[in-house]
Structure 1
Amino acid sequence: MSLPRIAVDAMGGDEGVRVMVEGAALARRRHDKFKFLLVGDEARIKAALESHPGMAGASEILHSDDVVGGDELPSRALRRAKTTSMGLAVNAVKQGDAGAAVSAGNTGALMAMSKLALRTMPGLDRPALAALLPTLTDNDVVMLDLGANRECDARNLVQFAIMGAAYARVVTGRERPRTRLLNIGTEETKGTEDIQAAAEALRAATGLAMDFEGYVEADKINRGECDVVVCDGFSGNIALKAIEGAARFVTDLLRQAFTSSVRSKIGFLVSRPATELLRHHLDPNNHNGAVFLGLNGVVVKSHGSANAKGVANAVEVAARLLEDDITNRIKHDLAAVGTEGLAAK
């Protein structure tokens, strides 16, 4: 099956062109049907492509030497959407020159540009940022929103649940993903009024392609007990960074422990297969690629510090969403529920 090409913002991320091009090349080595529109400084992209001759026939370059800064205000970046590599990559999706866009740049700017260019789907109030997190089981868990919307009402949370379930069906294969709202407890009386109202609406709604199972606490996110975790962007971003920080803490602690003495180093050699498995499972590059759900087009946000493997995974996420037509899946689910099913009581 042929895919629309993927627009890659080659200037985004901590290391820019070299890693973005290397990541795209790695994705193509895994899937030779991938084609790319590489957006950024033409001279630097051509120099990077010299190390990946297999990319020449699969890539087109769109020149832009204007870059969105990592700490640039979204409002300021938005005024340069027509000249920056990020803005041009997103606009390529709008114009039909690419099927999806991938960027490792400023998250706020990417969301602002994507909303302006692609618009939110009919029936949705806001898009949300969703990502996959590792669990103790074979399947990852979809979590949203992770920072696109700091404050959300009950209706927003219900819509996020519908979008997250549609995404989970693509990545987990479950026909009815187990969906829960992030809360400070599992009792029905816990949480804010908006969380309780969203739960009531999800229990009462008909036509949902999910199994709504109430609440989940933050310490259970990675247990594999649910497929979708729904929250506002403020809580979600804090929870995500706490999880990432705990993962780094564990790996750093193990590193210190295994290098503290000769006996520890011998112990490391004996336990190396297990520690390598742990390192692989906790490596954020293996789960890289957050998605802006709810837009009329596919936009994937790569972590700014991602290496080539991480960028390749983000590209593969974009391709998978194109293959499974995530945009129309969400539209179908929204239509199936109807306006009355979305109304929070």
Structure 2
Amino acid sequence: MNAQSIIPPEPIAVIGAGNMGSGIAQAFAQVGFSVRVRDVEEKVLARGRAQVERMLAGAVERKKMTPARREEVVSRIRFTTDLSEAVSGAGLVVEAIFEDLEVKNALFRELAERVDPGTIVATNTSSLSVGRLAEGFPDPGRFAGLHFFFPAPINKLVEVVGGPATRPEVLAELDRLSYRLRKIPIRTTDSAGFCVNRFFVPYLNEACRVVEEGLASMATVEEVGRELFRATLGPFELMNVTGIPIAFHAQTSLAKAFGPAYAPARLLEEKFRGGGPWPWKETLVDPAAKPKVRDRFIGLTVGIATRLVEEGVATPEATDRGAIVGL
């Protein structure tokens, strides 16, 4: 069976209107797809719509997009609480809801009753097994991982992940679709954390450990992270933006898969349970502490990246590409 090509303006359904879901919807709309975003509450949909409008307004302000183009993109996205309406006729459904296996599997059982026979169903999970998630869907051959990175409309990296039963032609179509989105896909096996989050989430955790151990202030760690990875956001601000619970749950999943060396830092768990953003801006940068923090980050990320290549999770080329493009 050949997977049908997914080409604009074919409808795409995105389930979940949070930071990632709304960003994924924007990414599809920007290249001409008609997108329906579904969430269970109108207030969540309103936040998702507002986020898309903020992102597009920023693009106009930076002269990356004209006002007319912004309106065109906005007009391609429809928000709804009706699951059947969202997925009707869609060539692809992308799930982007909370990282909970039971909740996701319940959704996939609902989708099974509503999607067309040829629809590809993809999960944007960052930490759960694609194979386990496919258990909630009756045709695992057309189920795969399509993992976008924050911010989805801008970040060029996409991980394409096959489960044990995913058909090769489905993965090939997701590769082609990624290029249509002007993204760079990398293939990874269905291993916890896939490729990039296998070393990137522990980097966030290591930032917490460094502060917890008194090696450096939050502001110092933040600055080293930005400089080392040439990133706009350091580890603490990135967690503030994307959600501290996401970092905690992802690290917990890695610990379950790979053992206590991946256990969440005490500071990360305390912040997850206590709530609120990381107050890194209230601390000062200590230049003398920066080399030690840099060494910790390099040792951790390079060590884990080497191990995942040894395990066959991704090729050396894909791992390098993931680090360069995704971070």
- Which has more helix, going by share of residues? 2
**TM-score tier after normalising by the smaller chain length:** 0.3 to 0.5
Higher relative contact order (CA 8 A, sep 6+): 1
| The structure with more radius of gyration | 1
